[in-house]
Structure 1
Amino acid sequence: MAQDWTQVIEAEIVARDAEIGSINKQIHENPELAYEEFKAHDAFVSILQSLGFEVTPRAFGLGTAFSAEVGTGGRLLIYNAEYDALPGIGHACGHNLIASSSFASFLGVAAALKASGLPGRVRLLGTPAEEGGGGKLKMIAAGAYKDAAACLMVHPGPGHTLSGPIRGVSYVRMLANVKMRVYFTGRESHAAIAPWDGVNALDAVCLSYNAISMLRQQMHPYERIHGVFRSAGDRPNVTPANCCVEYYVRSVTRTGAERLWQRVLKCFEGAAIATGCEVRTEALNSYADVRPSHALCKAYLDVMPQGTVAYDEPRDFLAGSTDMGDVCYECPGFHGAFGIGTKDGEANHTKGFAAAAGTPEAYALALECGKGMALVGWKVLTDDIFADEMRKEWEADMKVAAEGK
């Protein structure tokens, strides 16, 4: 019986290659920034409706989010489709592939639910603005993941870092990320006539930058700090009175990232004191660490082609941050990864990676992952013992997370 539904899932994904491929091509060729993904949103809604699914466009109060759901009763399974791009370099994180794999998983599980008549619900969420906009944070607040048994998605990474026949990774931890905008306020003056009358906000920026660079010597190897100058003055002959920087502070847990941020904050405060400036901070969309479900990761390993997926990732294979981390605090989560080939070995957030994300080879790998996630999702919906163990494991991990570990 279980094998029959496996065949239904796989056959549906193969049969819907044209629709999945159309979404993949549409998203990749039309990169849209956070909360501006109108073409991607409309394309998804249109294709889902043409396939007979009930879709909620502009879902959860977001103009570029959508929700489609199939089934009744039982447990709720969710797949995330991301589709926002990066400024200037397009789909350099391969969100077209993320959308395609989740779409494939949803279609496969939906077909099995319809054919079997078994209880259970599968939901496909269009989740905008992962690249710094915190779309999933807003969707969590609006109840998009309430009562979910599990949420799954898969992310592309740099294939050249994987070895031998390995083309994917099941258990992928990603860093928590505290994001802050910092404003220094000084006083303008003519930099030639009366520089002594000025209070230089750019000096505070530079002083804090150097202090943070020194702080890196006392950081853990897995922690990261990086920032940019948002505004640093207008003319050389006017002492800058208003300057702004934006910083990301990352560590392996939310507690660790917040602890590191407090150390970074002292660099800003000290620079303000030294230069006579005022300083204030503005919190942006901070992301929690990704805490994958071991049960889901092991199940994924079991259903993927033998020898092609590793359980743990190489160091720094996908060492960024994502709002999927916050979803992992709402329900058991899976955020596996697969490697795609780039011409010159580029990693994510480069033009080379964007080009690689549009290749047929990358799409084929995304579909392979989509099939795997569909089979794992089916296990979540139909295997009571597995679902119970997965839930208990997640609840135990949430207690560990609450302790900052």
Structure 2
Amino acid sequence: MAQDWTQTIDDEISARNGEISAINKQIHSHPELAYEEHQAHDALVATLQSLGFDVRPHAYGLATAFSTEFGSGGRLVVFNAEYDALPGIGHACGHNLIASSSLASFLGVAAALKASGLPGRVRLLGTPAEEGGGGKLKLIAAGAYAGAAASLMVHPGPGHVLEGGVRGVAFVRMLANVKMRAYFAGREAHAAIAPWDGVNALDAVCLAYNAVSMLRQQTRPYERIHGVFRAAGDRPNVTPAECCVEYYVRSATRAGAERLWQRVLKCFEGAALATGCELRTEPLNSYADVRPSPALCRAYVDAARPAGSVAYADPPDFLAGSTDMGDVCYECPGFHGAFGIDTAEGDANHTKGFAAAAGTEDAYQRALECGRAMALVGWKVLVDDVFADEMHREWLTDMKLAAEGK
């Protein structure tokens, strides 16, 4: 990678600090839920247009998605900008920082392409509704990642977990997540006058809940099962006839999560059989496991400043959970690195404390550092044929393993 283009990337990100910072503050100050991120969408589109980019608002059939691309020929690198928030606790997963870092990366690579005249394309994709809405699943189905050589983004996590001067990690595995609703149908009755005439759907729900709780002791340490009651009856003197639960089932791979879901389903089926209820299940938008590209991760570690501030592998409990970026990793080589922000113990993602930390200037500066490193990795994908070939070969091998459930 030629030093002059590295400097071009650095200079452009520095020069656009005002625009990127304004986006960061706007998104954090106006949290919007999945598929309702209209202000974030409009602000990003307006900023990109003011910088001379041709932008597709409401892209790929999604009202709050957008796409902008620069360059021609060569390979295509896609940076993902998330910007949805959580109900009640705002940007408690720091998606304002994700949008800011990806915007910085896009601007840096676009500037290098413009200055160098080299072939290659860089795309900034606005990806709504990561928090349970499966925005990237819809974008994948609409062809947003078709032909991409790589897709990259970074995610904030709790900095208090990191030790030894490490500020981030490159190779972050996240769990596959099968999401399901289960509906139990019984028969109403007066709970005092004729309880024997009823078929109690709440009993089925409670039996299923306890069966799942017992199943947990027979699962692997990295697997997770958790759920809530969506409907559990209306009045104590009416036997509940229609009840609903929603469960997330997580495992290390997409195949593993599906196997675990089949075990959970048996808990539901057994509860329905024992109570005489009918059972119906409804799939929600499930997420695949994040399978990072080792080549992209190695390049990111090398690009990070200061040297040694990013570890290759993630420590336990830094950034667990699931994301629709996992499904993108099945479409092309993917990078979903993570960086720590200044949090107190106990303030991990999806807490009010994390939301406050995500709005600080220090968190923003860390996001910019990641954006710069990610831009250098994206640039390497575009201009280094040997590296790009190695990355693609690794991905093909990993996809074979994924098809085998490994």
Cα shift at 1:83: 0.4
Render the CA deviation track for 1:152-191: whole Å, top value 9, x for unaligned. Answer: 0000011111002101000000000000011001111111
Residues 1:399 and 2:400 are matched in the alignment? yes
Cα shift at 1:210: 0.3
Q: Which residue of 1 aligns with 2:61?
A: 61
Q: Which residue of 2 aligns with 1:360?
A: 361
Counterpart Cα distance in 1 of 2:81 and 2:262: 34
Q: Which residue of 2 aligns with 1:374?
A: 375
Q: Which residue of 2 aligns with 1:132?
A: 132
Q: Which amino acid in 2 is paired with 1:154? A: V
Any residues of structure 2 matched to 1:29-108 within 5 Å, and which? 29-108=29-108
Counterpart Cα distance in 2 of 1:319 and 1:342: 16
Counterpart Cα distance in 2 of 1:285 and 1:232: 23
Counterpart Cα distance in 1 of 2:207 and 2:47: 53
Render the CA deviation track for 1:354-375: whole Å, top value 9, x for unaligned. Answer: 1110011110110000000000
Residues 1:191 and 2:195 are matched in the alignment? no
Any residues of structure 2 matched to 1:96-245 within 5 Å, and which? 96-245=96-245
CA contact (8 A) 2:45 2:66 kept: yes
Q: Which residue of 2 aligns with 1:18?
A: 18
Q: Which amino acid in 2 is paired with 1:31? A: P
Q: Which residue of 2 aligns with 1:334?
A: 335
- Which stretches in structure 2 are left out of the alignment for 5+ residues? none
Counterpart Cα distance in 2 of 1:11 and 1:103: 14
Counterpart Cα distance in 2 of 1:344 and 1:373: 28
Cα shift at 1:345: 3.6
Residues 1:272 and 2:272 are matched in the alignment? yes
CA contact (8 A) 1:159 1:338 kept: yes
Q: Which amino acid in 1 is paired with 2:296? A: L
Q: Which amino acid in 2 is paired with 1:301? A: V
3-state SS of the aligned residue for 1:245?
Answer: strand
Q: Which amino acid in 2 is paired with 1:38? A: H
Render the CA deviation track for 1:2-49: whole Å, top value 9, x for unaligned. Answer: 100000000100110111011111111111111010010000100000
3-state SS of the aligned residue for 2:245?
Answer: strand
Render the CA deviation track for 1:299-350: whole Å, top value 9, x for unaligned. Answer: 0000112121111111121110000000000000000000111244410001
Among the aligned pairs, what percent are the same residue? 81
CA contact (8 A) 1:185 1:201 kept: yes
Q: Which amino acid in 2 is paired with 1:357? A: A
3-state SS of the aligned residue for 2:320?
Answer: coil
Please give the TM-score of this superposition, normalised by the length of structure 2. 0.99
CA contact (8 A) 2:357 2:363 kept: yes
Counterpart Cα distance in 2 of 1:238 and 1:61: 44
CA contact (8 A) 2:81 2:102 kept: yes
Residues 1:383 and 2:384 are matched in the alignment? yes
Q: Which residue of 2 aligns with 1:306?
A: 307
3-state SS of the aligned residue for 1:228?
Answer: strand
Stretches of 4+ aligned residues off by more than 3 angstroms? none
Counterpart Cα distance in 2 of 1:106 and 1:278: 52
CA 1:345–1:164: 2 relative to 1, 3 Å? farther
Counterpart Cα distance in 2 of 1:315 and 1:279: 37
3-state SS of the aligned residue for 2:126?
Answer: strand
Q: Which residue of 2 aligns with 1:263?
A: 263
Counterpart Cα distance in 1 of 2:363 and 2:194: 60
CA contact (8 A) 1:188 1:198 kept: yes
Render the CA deviation track for 1:251-301: whole Å, top value 9, x for unaligned. Answer: 000000000000000000000001110010000000000000000000000
Q: Number of aligned pairs?
A: 405
CA contact (8 A) 1:76 1:381 kept: yes
Counterpart Cα distance in 2 of 1:365 and 1:280: 47
CA contact (8 A) 2:160 2:345 kept: no
Q: CA RMSD in A?
A: 0.7
Cα shift at 1:89: 0.7
Q: Which amino acid in 2 is paired with 1:131? A: E
Please give the TM-score of this superposition, normalised by the length of structure 1. 0.99
3-state SS of the aligned residue for 1:123?
Answer: strand
Counterpart Cα distance in 2 of 1:376 and 1:123: 14
Deviates more, 1:378-387 or 1:308-317: 308-317
Counterpart Cα distance in 2 of 1:331 and 1:344: 36
CA contact (8 A) 2:160 2:344 kept: no
Q: Which amino acid in 2 is paired with 1:295? A: A
